[in-house]
Amino acid sequence: MKQIKGGVCASKGFKAHGVHCGIRKNKDKLDLALILADTDCSVACVYTQNKVKGAPIAVTQRNVADGKAKAIICNSGNANTCNADGEEKALAMCKLVEKHTGVKAEDVVVASTGVIGQTLDIHPIEEGMSALVAGLNDKGSNKAGRAIMTTDRVLKEAAYSFAIGDKECRIGGIAKGSGMIHPNMATLLCFITTDVNISSEMLNRALKKVVKDTFNMISIDGDTSTNDMVCVLASGYAENALIDSVGDDYKEFCKCLKKILTKLSKDIAKDGEGATKLIECKVVKASNTRVAKAIAKSVITSSLVKSALFAADANWGRILCAIGYTDDKFKIDKVDVDLKSKAGSIAVCRNGYGVEFDEETAHKILSEDEITIIVNCNTRGAKAVAWGCDLTYEYVRINADYRT
């Protein structure tokens, strides 16, 4: 597997573009993106489990029910959620794609992100469609990625090449997410393209499997958004033997899908609103995977842990506290905790009790921008990883006046 350039356009058969159409007041911010396939694609999606769902999700669910799609349109600046005319506007976006590209409206995935509860004005989108479609090209991933960003500070884009049998295959994607993130598939959007030849049934199976270990293992602030969506389009242009059952080819595809979703998950966690550090919690030797995942997420969602790491304070008691209130069964008196970064590693807890450590060394380790908390349950062999970020003053500032 090799990392390559191109994002959603790295795979054969895809073009993309992004423009500023006027949804967002800042003209330097792109706010409308389109990804277009040359052919009908197998499609798979997962969505937020929040009971309040954006109107685009309802429309997309109907459109992909047949397992096929050919385009993805997404706006930023307005989530089109909790609006009486929300589905009408989401359908209108699909129809605009049909009008300007010829792709049937029912073959369009539609997504929106931004402020909840404000009516989406369709006119800027209507006005921007000509330029959006005219600019479609096989190097347009960057602009499409920028057009789906809201409070994101950096573009989140990745692509890889790999082999299935004797065929070279590619997978690429863009994602957005910086706040309101605690996915139960958070505001999180991810669009993936691949040229692998795979049935929609197996694509759905792979996506649901991989999301459990990637996007569902990140948290920035504990808030599960209303518009979360991860969508994968597969063109089949790699011409590998059709993947329509579980086998070696399916497992290889899952491995590559996990690689790119892990990369984008970590990018989202590191770019948390106001964040200065990526926090990774690795749980090892747990009794089972369920327990390992629960502990890892409990640690990275703790506001007290996040605040301590912002200050590079080795307040390991907060970590143990978060482990202790995890909703599952395990023996806390067997737990060891270590803190690690590129500056080194240090033991802070053994068998559920504190150990002597050098505060200056610990502070140096925690002053790096990527920190790993290692939790050893010393029970069996299950493991899990979760990602989050520190909690800073800037997070409050961003969210205090986000709407106004």
* Residues whose CB is less than 8 angstroms from the CB of residue 356 and which lie 6 or more positions away in sequence, other chains included: none
Residue among 78, 82, 152, 139 nearest 111 (CA):
78
- Give the torsion sign (CA, 237, 240, 243, 249): negative
Residue among 203, 135, 150, 136 nearest 181 (CA):
150
The residue count of the chain comes to: 404
Which residues belong to the active site? 187
Distances in Å between the Cα of 273 and the Cα atoms of 81, 194, 276, 343 are 21, 30, 9, 25
Question: In b/e form, how buried is each residue of 3-14, taking b as 16+ CB within 10 angstroms?
Answer: eeebbbbbbbbb
Whole-number Å distance between alpha carbons of 28 and 216: 32
Question: In b/e form, how buried is each residue of 34-67, taking b as 16+ CB within 10 angstroms?
Answer: bbbbeebbbbbbbbbebeebbbbbbbbeebbeee
Q: How many Cβ atoms from other residues are within 10 Å of residue 138's Cβ?
A: 15
CB 171 within 8 A of CB 260: yes
- Mark out the alpha helices in 220-302 (DSSP H runs): 248-270, 289-300
Instruction: Output the six-digit token pair for 37.
Output: 């396939």
Whole-number Å distance between alpha carbons of 368 and 156: 21
Instruction: Output the six-digit token pair for 335.
Output: 């737990």
CB 74 within 8 A of CB 147: yes
Instruction: Output the six-digit token pair for 26.
Output: 């800042």
Whole-number Å distance between alpha carbons of 12 and 15: 9
- Give the torsion sign (CA, 380, 387, 201, 225): positive
Distances in Å between the Cα of 378 and the Cα atoms of 323, 335, 385 are 14, 6, 16
Instruction: Output the six-digit token pair for 136.
Output: 């479609």
